[in-house]
Copies of this chain bind each other. A is one copy, B any other.
């Protein structure tokens, strides 16, 4: 509150609305939080909020876009195409990134709880979600296929790969909300454990470094 020198002391209001909304949504859920609440939290008038956003759904969409951007920054090659998952990632590296992703999931916790309902109610958000999901599922599927070729995972058929990726996706998007219900909780490694229990049995014992796989344990 001491600094606002830039030409656009402007846009800072918009950002404050977003961060206020995020905070309130995480606490009370999107259904219980009104634009008035958000404006109050941001320290502006309700009218001002409507100068920056058309309605509540637009705020939600923007927060979702922030989440997606952060997530793709986490997974992307860092290069030109932000949608491509690097095909040279090892399972351990993937699990490490998933652990980092847990922090993001926590930061946008309301999405874990409310997103499915919001998608059902807001076609615009649903369209955005579908587009993102399609790209990312494709990226992970490509990685899984690369792993299969290199013998990192077992030689399961394409349908199994597709199902596996989807199961992992569901767990990755939902584990936090389920964990919250239990009250007190383990660190972000709880999510990682759940993902690992799904992925791990598909990994070959040797990680693709030998031709003969023998049953482990």
Residue ranges of A at the interface with B (Cβ–Cβ < 8 Å)? 28-32, 112-114, 116-117, 119-121, 126, 129-130, 133, 154-156, 159-160, 163-164, 166-167, 169-171, 173-175, 177-178, 180-182, 193-194, 196-198, 201-202, 213-215, 217
Q: A25–B182 Cα gap in the complex (Å)?
A: 25
User: Given A163-B194, A197-B164, A213-B215: A170 and B178 within 8 A (CB)?
Assistant: yes
Minimum distance in angstroms from A161 CB to a CB of chain B? 9
Which B residues are in CB contact (< 8 Å) with A214?
A: 215
Q: Are B116 and A163 neighbours in the complex by a CB distance under 8 Å? A: no
Minimum distance in angstroms from A49 CB to a CB of chain B? 20
Q: Are A117 and B29 neighbours in the complex by a CB distance under 8 Å? A: yes
How many copies of this chain does one complex carry?
A: 2
Contact of A117 among B117, B160, B166, B170 (CB under 8 A): B117
Which B residues are in CB contact (< 8 Å) with A160?
A: 197
Minimum distance in angstroms from A122 CB to a CB of chain B? 10
Q: A202–B169 Cα gap in the complex (Å)?
A: 20
A-B contact sample (19 more), CB < 8 A, given A166-B194, A170-B175, A198-B198 = A28-B120, A29-B120, A30-B31, A30-B117, A31-B31, A112-B116, A113-B117, A114-B116, A116-B181, A133-B181, A163-B193, A163-B194, A164-B197, A166-B178, A167-B171, A167-B198, A169-B178, A171-B171, A215-B215
User: Given A167-B197, A193-B163: A155 and B116 within 8 A (CB)?
Assistant: no
Which B residues are in CB contact (< 8 Å) with A182?
A: 130
Q: A99–B201 Cα gap in the complex (Å)?
A: 23
Which B residues are in CB contact (< 8 Å) with A169?
A: 178
Minimum distance in angstroms from A103 CB to a CB of chain B? 19
